[in-house]
Amino acid sequence: MEAGRPASAAGQGESSSSSGAMAVYAAGGVEKPRFEALMPSEMSGGRPQFRKVPVPQHRFAPLKKAWMDIYTPVYEHMKIDIRMNLKARRVELKTRQDTPDVSNLQKCADFVHAFMLGFDIADAVALLRLDDLYVDSFEIKDVKTLRGEHLSRAIGRLSGKGGKTKYAIENSTRTRIVIADTKIHILGSFVNIKVARDSLCSLILGSPAGKVYSKLRAVSARLAERY
């Protein structure tokens, strides 16, 4: 009797496996398991994720003035909690239970960071809507070591009279540029940032604006043909 038990158990196993096989092979092929995407609240053990963006001293007043313009797209559209920590002097971001995508947290952090660098709200908010936008930063001394009046003239060449040169580079490369003392920040796509950075480096090295304009026209024409 005891010897018959394994045989009966094996028979039951075969019947169950055959029924399982029928369920899997009913459509004529192996069916892959389908898992639903995890919500951000379910990642990292269900704990919320955080980002902290420091606020420079000279950006407190602009941040206070434009707070609602920053708060509205972050909280209502991206579903990310945001608050200003006055004691630590930083903007804190946190995911919520209803955050649709975990990448929204990093997008919001990049958006706030771009505003702290000096970009306008209308330009920085594009980081929330588009995926292929980046912010690239470098200093004049990274290109060429300049001091005193030579450094002042280089900054003047970058801006041009009334910002003419800077606006020309922005419009031809579809980027946004912030010149903050000796630091330069560029917002745009990867290819366009490279073109704008090459033009700015040429100006820093001493090229006249007319030569940079002609080179920009040629590069812009090639980019228009490519896309």
* CATH number assigned to the domain comprising residue 184: 3.30.1370.10
In a domain, 33, yes or no: no
Query: Does a structural domain hold residue 73?
Result: yes
Identify whether residues 140 and 221 lie together within a single domain.
yes
pLDDT at 22: 42
Q: Give pTM, 2 decimals.
A: 0.75
% of the chain exceeding 90 in pLDDT: 44
- Point out which residues pair with 53 in neighbouring strands: 91
Q: Are residues 153 and 95 in the same domain?
A: no
Quote the number of domains for the chain: 2
- Both 187 and 199 in one domain: the answer is yes
CB distance 125 to 176 below 8 Å: no
Instruction: Specify the pLDDT at position 17.
Output: 44
Contact 119, 178 (CB under 8 A): yes
DSSP state of 29: S
Residue 18: pLDDT band (50, 70, 90) is very low
Q: What span, in angstroms and rounded, lies between the C-alpha atoms of 221 and 227?
A: 10
Shared domain for 85 and 125, answered yes or no, is yes
Look up the domain containing 160 and give its range. 135-225
Q: Which of 39-43, 126-130, 156-160, 171-175 has the lowest mean pLDDT?
A: 39-43
Residue 214 covered by a domain: yes
Assigned domain for 157 exists: yes
Mean residue pLDDT across the chain: 83
